Amino acid sequence: MLEKWTGEVSVINIGATKEEGGSRRQVIKVGGQATLPFLSGEGVLANKPVVAFEVWDIAPSDWPAGLAKAYADVFSDPLAWAEKCVKEYKAGLICLRLQGAHPEFGNKTPDEEAKLVGELLKKVDVPLIILGCGDDAKDNLVLPVCCQAAKNERCLVGSAAQDNYKTLSVAVLADGHNIIAESPIDINIAKQLNILISDMGLALDHIVINPTIGALGYGLEYAYSIMERARLAALAGDKTVACPFICFVGQESWRAKEAKASEQEFPCWGPESERGVIWEAVTATALIQAGADILVMRHPQAIEKVNKYIDELMKG
C-alpha cells in the first residue's frame, strides 16, 4: 500500500551564479523530497544527494596515512587542495574547514581566514560550504567575517548550535547565505533550534540540519533512527524539521578504530587503506537511505563509490 504524504522537504540552493550576483558556475539544489528516500512510487524525488569534498585550511595532523596519501602533495596549500578536488576528482561542492582558527591549532585571525575564503572563491568556481573550527568563541569572530568575504555567493555556513546561534544567524542573513543547524542526535533539539534561528529572521528554507551522526559501528543505527523520525515528521507536515540533512561522514568514519588501525596491529583485518575507504563508503550509503542530502567526505575512492551508488539509486 502506497503512503500519501502531505508535507515535503525544503529545497536549499547552495551557490549563486553570475546572473544571481555570485560567481559560481552552477547552483546545487538539495532537498525537495515528497517521500521517503528513493520511494519514487510514493512521491517526488526532486534532487539527488550530493557529496562535498572536505578541505582544511591547515594540514591535518590526525588523518591516517591511507587517507592523507590521497592529498599528500597539496596538504599544506588549501587552494591547491581544493583545485585538485575539482580538477582531478571532479568535485562539484567543496567543504572548507577552518580548523587553523582554533586556539590550539594555529589560532589564525578572522582576517586571515576571510582572505582564504576570498582566494578560494577565485581559485575554484564550485559552490562552497564553510565550517568553523569548533571553538564557539572563536567561530563567532571568524565566521561573520568569512560570510562577508563570500557575500552573495550563497554558501552553506556552520555550525549554529542551541547555545551559540545568534551571531552566525545574523551574519548569514545579512550576507545571503544558508546555515547549518547542529543538534546532538535529538529531534526535539533540532526542531527547537530551527525555530530559534527562524525567529532571528532566517527562513526555514535556508536551514540545513546536522544531526551529528555516528559512523558504522559507532552509533550509526541510532543516528539513522533519529533522521528517519525527523523525515517522517517533515512528510507528515511539520515544517520546522522539513530541512535537508548534512552528514559529516569522513570526520566520523576515519576516526573509527577499524578504519585507521595498522595492518601490523590487526593483520587479519586486511590493508588499512582499503578498510578506511570501505568504512567511509558503507557509512555514507547507509545514511543516504536514512535521508542524507549532503555528505561531507574525505577519500576520493570512497566518494567515487558513493557517487556511483547514488546514480544507480536515482535510475530506479
Domains of the chain and CATH, by start: 11-315 (3.20.20.20)
Among residues 36, 34, 24, which one has the least CA distance to residue 128?
24
Give the pLDDT mean for 273-286. 94
Upper half-sphere CA count for residue 313 (Cβ side, 13 Å): 20
Residue 316 above 70 pLDDT? Answer: no
Please tell me which residue, 274 or 27, carries the higher pLDDT value.
27
Once rounded to an integer, what is the mean pLDDT over residues 183-195? Answer: 94
Q: Is the pLDDT of residue 104 over 70?
A: yes
Q: How confident is the model at residue 276 (pLDDT cuts 50, 70, 90)?
A: very high
Report how far residue 54's alpha carbon sits from residue 296's, in angstroms, rounded to the nearest whole number: 6
Strand duo 28-31 + 11-14: pairing: antiparallel
User: What's the average model confidence in pLDDT over 52-76?
Assistant: 94
Query: For the residues 17-24, what does the mean pLDDT come to?
Result: 97
Q: What angle do CA 199, 294, 17 make, to 5 degrees?
A: 80
Given a cut of 70, is residue 264 above it in pLDDT? yes
CA distances from 48 to 26, 116, 227 (A): 15, 30, 17
Mean per-residue pLDDT over the chain, rounded: 95
Beta strands in 137-244 (DSSP E): 156-160, 178-182, 207-210
Percent composition of the chain: helix, strand, coil (DSSP 3-state, to 5): 45, 15, 40
Q: Are 181 and 147 in contact (CB under 8 A)?
A: no
Per-residue pLDDT for 44 more than 90? no
DSSP state of 26: -
Res. 192: pLDDT tops 70: yes
What would the mean pLDDT of 250-258 be, rounded to a whole number?
Answer: 94
Amino acid 261: pLDDT: 85
What integer pLDDT is reported at residue 263 of this predicted model?
Answer: 83
Can you give the pTM of this predicted structure? 0.96
Bridge pairing between strands 292-297 and 245-247? parallel
